Structure 1
Amino acid sequence: MDALQEKLQADFSLKEAAIRMFHGGLNDIQQQEAVEDFGKEDSAVRLFLASDAGSQGVNLHYYCNVMFNYDIPWSLITLEQRNGRIDRFGQQNTPYIYYLVANSGLDGVKDDLHIVNKLTDKEEEVHSTLGDAGSVMHLYNTDKEVEYVAEAITDNNQAFLEKEETYGYAQEEEGDSFDLAAFLEEESTPLTLPDAKEDNRGDDIKFYKDDDEYFQRLIGYLIDKEMLSEEDIHIGSDNMISIRNTEALQDILYDLPKEAKPSVGESYKLTTDKEAIQRGIEEARRKKGEWPKWQVLYDLHPLVKVLMNRLVGSIDKDSALAIKTTKVNEGTSHYIFHGQVSNALGQPVLSEFLVVSIGTMGNLIGKPMALEDWLRQHPIHEETYTREITEADLSKVQENLDMACMMAKTPYLFEKQTNRQFEMEERMKEYQVKLEEWREKSHATLEMKFEETSSTILKRKKEKMDKEINAISDETSQYFNDMATLSNEPYLKLLAVAFH
């Protein structure tokens, strides 16, 4: 213990330290205040004591990089969560994590301590390989892990953390569930939806140089449409935008934290400069009640959403943009669509931006193609000036719209939908096989557990667990079928028409 005391005295000035207890005796607000206080540079609190209530959901890494585990929880999941309070993204120093471990010369106690100590070794191993602590015992439940370790101590099973077939089939305790997810994860690749964006290969085709140019164009458009006052905004040359807070914005952004909102008349400051944002965060953490000077300028910021809503509101819902340009052949019209196909669960699994081209005689020009491919041939994403558009021009474009819609759906979207349907069905077959294997093994496990019982209560329990296995299997099977079913009509939206 002398070495530990020296370490404590070196890292903390205990004589001047304020000690804050964090346990069940504090209410939620007091607990949050204690955590926030500990995370400030000017805080008087230098030593933070917490019960297991502090093992998850709190960030203690801002000005703390040393942790002592007074006890070792009998769950690797809990242990990993505890250590994650200081060993997490944003930690600027090397985390040092210590375990207070007792020694004993008694054979029984010595063996028990050895088993518990193996938990810390395994957690270190999982951490160093960026693995998942829950995958060690394959139980994915803290209570079950505690029971498993207790059983290992009872049986003096020192090899209990070696990988073994632990699928979590039928458990004897009332109310235990069957860990189908863990079984599928062990037996196959994770079940995921296809990326709805994976067919959009146009990452190299951009209408704007970067996000800064887009936001500047957006603001310029709103000012031009008198939907934003030029007096309320300032665009800097260093990727920074200031927008003055008004009474109207104050009402719209009512749910923002008060610390994040400037007073009416003062300005929100947003930027895409990551270094400026990080500096602002570090400065704000030094004082209580402070908020970073600069906030992130991106599409999910509530203020940017307000601007985007104004943009959407400036365009009629039943209208599409029209561009008359010499970058397409004379007499041709090119209809730009967004098409989306969802499965039976309502999840989008196919998302396409495509173009249908119509000639002077109302004939289809070539096949419908992906937007990025069309833009390589007709670079309207580069600087483009639209020419004067007459009513006759719009009437001609309108005449061919029905044909363009039909060709966008068939064969273009229909063919891609059919291919995606086949791909998903092949993947679902694999999971159906694994699901049936899980059902059979679960029933077989129950038969072995209850084969010699004559108790009416235990027989009823077995019947209940049999029904639970069947219910889980049937519901999961239906979920797989719904996920792979793409029989819905494609959603099609006309975005713009470019013609000459």
Structure 2
Amino acid sequence: MGHVGGYPCPERHRAELRSSEPPSRAFKAEPRSIDVSSTALATEKTFTAAPGSVVVVRDQEWLVTGVERAPDGWFVHVQGLSELVRDTEATFSTALDNVVESDPRKTNVVADDSPGYRKSRLWIEAMLRKTAVPVTDPRLTVAHRGLADPLPYQVAAVRQALDPENLRPRILLADAVGLGKTIEIGMILAELVRRGRGERILVVTPRHVLEQMQRELWTRFALPFVRLDSVGIQRIRQKLPANRNPFAFYKRVIVSIDTLKSDRYLAHLEKQRWDAVVIDESHNVTNYGNQNNRLARLLSTRTDALILASATPHNGRAESFAELVRMLEPSAVRPDGSLDEELVKRLIIRRHRHSPDVASTVGADWAERLPPRNIPVAAAPTEDEIAEELERVWLYPEGGLSPASGRSNRLFPWTLAKAFLSSPAALLETVKERRRRIAANAGADQRREDEALDRLEQLARRALDERSAKYDKLVEVLREIGVGARFAERAVVFAERVPTLRWLQQRLVTDLGMEAENIAVLHGGLDDVTQQDIVESFKQASSPIRVLVTGDVASEGVNLHTQCHQLIHFDIPWSLIRIEQRNGRIDRYGQRHRPQINTLLLQPSSERFKGDIRVLTRLIEKEHEAHKALGDSASLMGEYDVKAEEDAIAAVLAGQRELDDVVKDVDDVAAGDGIAALFARLTQQPTVPAAETTAETLGDALFETDLAFLDDALNEVLETPASPPPNGVSWRNHAHHHVAELVPQADLRQRLEILPQPYLAARHVTQKLMLATNRQRGQQELDRALSDETQSAWPEASFLAPLHPVLDWVSDRALANLGRDQVFAVRGDGEDLTVVLQGTLTNQHGQVVATGYLTAAFPNADNSRFCLPEAHASATEALVAAGFTAQAVNTGAVPGAAALQRYVGAAVDSATPLMADVTVAASTATEERVRSWLNRTERWDADSADLVRRTQLLDRKARVDAERALAETMLPSRTLVRPLLVIVPKKFEPSMTEGQI
């Protein structure tokens, strides 16, 4: 890392102004002189407080943490500084409360008497950390500094989500299974938080991946989320009155879609706004009007940023896909339902395992899948009898009339066949369930079916008592793999039917010589906490689970590759989507061993059944071909729905259709049209070159590392850093081991209560907080957690990522080191007395559009009414230009610092018009983007004028109207200039009168 004037200067970007424009277009103003006494300055009669400011409300001092526009003024988010309200968080409305702002022109100057001017450095560093990165700045600041190796294709996804052309971050992450969409989500959320756009975040996922998502966001990006699973909701109900909004209680929440879609929560959600919403597995929300869709539509209108994620984001129907796009940007879908493809390309990103930019990157971190291993198994005698009975009576009966013919479900014979191919237990349960359904009916047809079912039931019971050829082969394959109680090897066994899962679990325990804890079963009938516990346990090296027998509840979103690379299809789904989803559980980024997909193929002696097995075998092969060429097998059948695919395959097995007509070739899909062709084009979109994704700015920083800032802050802002709480804080930095430990004070313990509950419980964080202080140690801690004897997947030492709550805590403590309306004075090496200032341009939404750093130098020969203002690319550059470097030594507090106040007002006045010049490019570019956005919504209105006002169209118009209203709040509205530091030359004494300077 290079240095400029003694301060860290990580990249060349430090020499360019941080604004909404790329570095090459940044504006650098030339020095000019301004006589303030003769310049008429327009004073903006509006609310000007910004994050980092101190305000007085209700006779108490508060630190401003955020500002946003309200219908009748501003909402001011604050944290208490005065004794009575210290560390209390609140939100005030300027329409209801008298929020007394600090006038930057009247800022008082106090001398810094700390060694090396540590107080000043900490205060400025904290101010920089609290100042949001401009919302339209394309550079990354924290996303790539989490506990993950950001791959170029993942960084490209983050860049696209934060594309300044979009003004608000909305994106569909449609990467194929296994590419790391969770990492991309975490990177985007981290950047949103740093940009002041992630204070309130809601993450919606399937319930079985709640803890997985929660853990990834915390351990890798230090983003804590409160998990509202069944236990979490019960806990919050004990804390809140029944009429309180649970979603206003916590700022960042992760909850399952199954919980949230309930009618009981809709009223609460309608009253709540979020900065960002994430909807994982978003293909489940595309059907207009159902509960999932209703929830997603509501959330899309209650948030600024929206991240949808799905490896299968469309069902082949244009209208369903258009509904997903409307959630991202309503005007991207024209009133007639057609897509604005150019805009859609900005909203969607799609890659797969063999895309050039992915394949060239993942290397050994994603071992190439082995060719599928299809294992034929000759049926046992009783299994042959069942096959013959099914074929002769149900599937191909003489005269074409099965016992179930004439009933509404003509595919029931194939339901029986599918159950048979799963297991005797599944067949028996299917027969029993069918008999229960027809028991209430009477008549010859029902009696005939009942007799046929009776024969099947007897055969199924015999099969359960005798040997099963496919089961025996499963045991043989597991032993061949090396699965055993005394060995580390593991396998995932997939089957569709719950009776099959239970049957396998019972028999495997005995036949493999294992304990019950070694064979786990997972299915949708288990409660959400149990599902999560099983999944999390399987990921750990210390887990006793050696075989996970699971249904398709684990086929979406669950990572099972950490300790496992062997997957066995005990039965074959009649759906390419299901096959792909299953395989993706172990075939994903981070898999170091070549995944092996094994499929057991029961082959009765019946020629017709053998033909059916050949069809199913071909499905396995087709999925593998699509995996390599398209990254998406759903487009081969074009159904994009598991049930529809199953029905189509049943029709093939029944001889009603040909397999080649139902399942296309890979080349035919790529050459087609429609939604599949659109996604093919999206997959071929050029991505950001690797060279551009790695050269990222770390932002302004007076400390070389987060640890250095934390260490200095704890030793400065706390009175007795080495003593134990409650009077001090126990802090030890074991630099050699890259780990630090902190015994939190009461105010920090209060903040830590929002950390994930399993982490708090497993690692006793509120008693002692352990920190991994570099990425290598952080990864070691994460790896250790997966092999820890405590069987907790939560690392003992959390990684000190830039957004870690402990850094936010010490930043607030450092800012509180100065009182209201105060700024530090220090000695510097420059010739002129100089005031360093920060300027921000914000929009009506309260978001920072551009930031500038300025110096106002007062030449020795003149007085405080005349100065030379100059713009700089960063705060560190401004400080160095003013003569304040990292090597500065404090030989004594500046005497008479209060007399320097007159220079502050003059500096603010002189810098204000210059700040307007500095931000003109950012302001103009933002206004152009807003106008373009508004023009698009107006075109939508014009196009819809002649269409019939159907209910859905009115709903879409309302969404476009809301989009227009939001666009207007993105217009730049106010500029604030405030002092950061007064730098006094060594020969200057503040007690001098003007004219002696």
TM-score, shorter chain, exceeding 0.5: yes
1:487 to 968, 972, 975: 972
Counterpart of 1:336 in structure 2 is 837
CA deviation digits over 1:153-176, x for unaligned, max 9?
6782543733544259xxxxxxxx
Q: State the 1:24 CA deviation.
A: 2.3
- Structure 1 pair 395–73 and aligned structure 2 pair: CA distance change class (3 A): farther
> Which deviates further from its counterpart, 383-392 or 1-10?
1-10
- Residue identity matched to 2:871: P
Counterpart of 1:302 in structure 2 is 805
Counterpart of 1:194 in structure 2 is none
Counterpart of 2:783 in structure 1 is 282
Percent identity, aligned pairs only, is 17
Counterpart of 2:436 in structure 1 is none
Does the 8 Å contact 2:930/2:968 carry over to 1? no
Does the 8 Å contact 1:75/1:145 carry over to 2? no
- Structure 1 pair 268–148 and aligned structure 2 pair: CA distance change class (3 A): same
Does the 8 Å contact 1:242/1:270 carry over to 2? yes
* SS at structure 2 position matched to 1:235: strand
* SS at structure 2 position matched to 1:123: helix
* 1:118 maps onto 2:603 in alignment: no
- Residue identity matched to 1:118: K
Counterpart of 2:216 in structure 1 is none
For 1:117 and 1:91, how far apart are their aligned partners in 2?
22
CA deviation digits over 1:190-210, x for unaligned, max 9?
9xxxxxxxxx99759752233
Counterpart of 1:394 in structure 2 is 900
* 1:269 maps onto 2:767 in alignment: no
Does the 8 Å contact 2:770/2:796 carry over to 1? yes
For 1:351 and 1:284, how far apart are their aligned partners in 2?
41
- Residue identity matched to 2:764: K
Does the 8 Å contact 1:232/1:243 carry over to 2? yes
Q: 1:129-168, aligned counterparts within 5 Å?
A: 133=632, 144-146=640-642, 149=645, 156-159=661-664, 161-162=669-670, 164-167=672-675
For 2:940 and 2:910, how far apart are their aligned partners in 1?
48
Counterpart of 2:449 in structure 1 is none
Counterpart of 2:743 in structure 1 is 244
For 1:424 and 1:135, how far apart are their aligned partners in 2?
37
How many residue pairs end up in the alignment?
443
* SS at structure 2 position matched to 1:320: strand
- Residue identity matched to 2:731: I
Does the 8 Å contact 1:72/1:99 carry over to 2? no
* 1:51 maps onto 2:537 in alignment: no
Counterpart of 1:412 in structure 2 is 918
Q: State the 1:46 CA deviation.
A: 0.6
For 1:395 and 1:161, how far apart are their aligned partners in 2?
72
Does the 8 Å contact 1:336/1:497 carry over to 2? no
* SS at structure 1 position matched to 2:903: helix
Q: State the 1:259 CA deviation.
A: 1.0
CA deviation digits over 1:324-373, x for unaligned, max 9?
32x2223x32232141423x555444333444445444334254333354
- Residue identity matched to 1:329: E
Counterpart of 2:403 in structure 1 is none
For 1:293 and 1:428, how far apart are their aligned partners in 2?
48
For 2:685 and 2:705, how far apart are their aligned partners in 1?
40
Does the 8 Å contact 1:443/1:466 carry over to 2? no
Counterpart of 1:215 in structure 2 is 710
Relative to the length of structure 1, the TM-score reads: 0.70
* 1:234 maps onto 2:732 in alignment: yes
For 1:202 and 1:251, how far apart are their aligned partners in 2?
33
Does the 8 Å contact 2:838/2:977 carry over to 1? yes
- Structure 1 pair 378–465 and aligned structure 2 pair: CA distance change class (3 A): same
For 2:612 and 2:477, how far apart are their aligned partners in 1?
31
For 1:36 and 1:89, how far apart are their aligned partners in 2?
18
Does the 8 Å contact 2:869/2:914 carry over to 1? no
CA deviation digits over 1:389-421, x for unaligned, max 9?
3145422323414414523543223x1333322
For 2:686 and 2:954, how far apart are their aligned partners in 1?
27
Q: Work out which structure has the larger RCO, using CA pairs closer than 8 Å and 6 or more positions apart in sequence.
A: 2
For 2:877 and 2:697, how far apart are their aligned partners in 1?
8
Does the 8 Å contact 1:206/1:381 carry over to 2? no
- Residue identity matched to 1:125: A
Q: State the 1:22 CA deviation.
A: 0.8
CA deviation digits over 1:55-78, x for unaligned, max 9?
2343323322222344447464x6
Counterpart of 1:260 in structure 2 is 763
- Structure 1 pair 73–419 and aligned structure 2 pair: CA distance change class (3 A): farther
For 1:22 and 1:298, how far apart are their aligned partners in 2?
34
Does the 8 Å contact 1:334/1:357 carry over to 2? yes
* 1:16 maps onto 2:513 in alignment: yes
**Runs of 5+ in structure 2 lacking a partner?**
1-374, 378-472, 485-507, 652-656, 688-694, 986-997
For 1:469 and 1:377, how far apart are their aligned partners in 2?
54
- Residue identity matched to 1:274: R
RMSD in angstroms over aligned alpha carbons?
4.7
- Structure 1 pair 210–40 and aligned structure 2 pair: CA distance change class (3 A): closer
- Residue identity matched to 1:295: S
Q: State the 1:436 CA deviation.
A: 5.8
